[in-house]
Amino acid sequence: MTRIGIISDTHGYLDEAVFKYFKDCDEIWHAGDFGNTEVIGQLQAFKPLKGVYGNIDGHMIRAEFPEKLRWYCEGVEVLMIHIGGYPGKYAPSVREEMKTNPPKLFISGHSHILKVMNDAQLKCLHINPGAAG
């Protein structure tokens, strides 16, 4: 079983506690607003990193990470985007995709509010890890 550390909205600050809490993780998934390339370097040096850029991320981060990322982890289809909304109120950038081809796991950031919600209609779990920095 792959252990994932999900984080978002670090805004250029990475608390040392992240390394403690994610030490047993196999990968880190960042849902945008890294804030700077130093945070990316620290995370990449620690664990394999998947991520998407957020609305505050500049051109260097946008050149390295996509706006939206879709992949499979152990047979579970994952969709991650920074500004994604919530079940029933998805952002325009993903609304149609969620209706026509929903993943099993949807991860977004931006709101700074930790939420784990089930979208019963789409049979999809939504996770927003809240703000880490």
Q: How much is the pLDDT for 51? A: 99
Domain residue ranges in the chain: 4-129
pLDDT tens digits for 118-132?
A: 999 999 999 999 999
Full-model pTM: 0.97
Q: Which fold has domain 4-129?
A: Purple Acid Phosphatase; chain A, domain 2 (3.60.21)
* Residue 13, phi then psi, degrees to nearest 5: -125, 125
pLDDT tens digits for 85-101?
A: 999 999 999 999 999 99
23: CB partners within 8 A, 6+ apart: none
Task: Say how far apart CA 101 and CA 94 lie, in whole Å.
Answer: 10
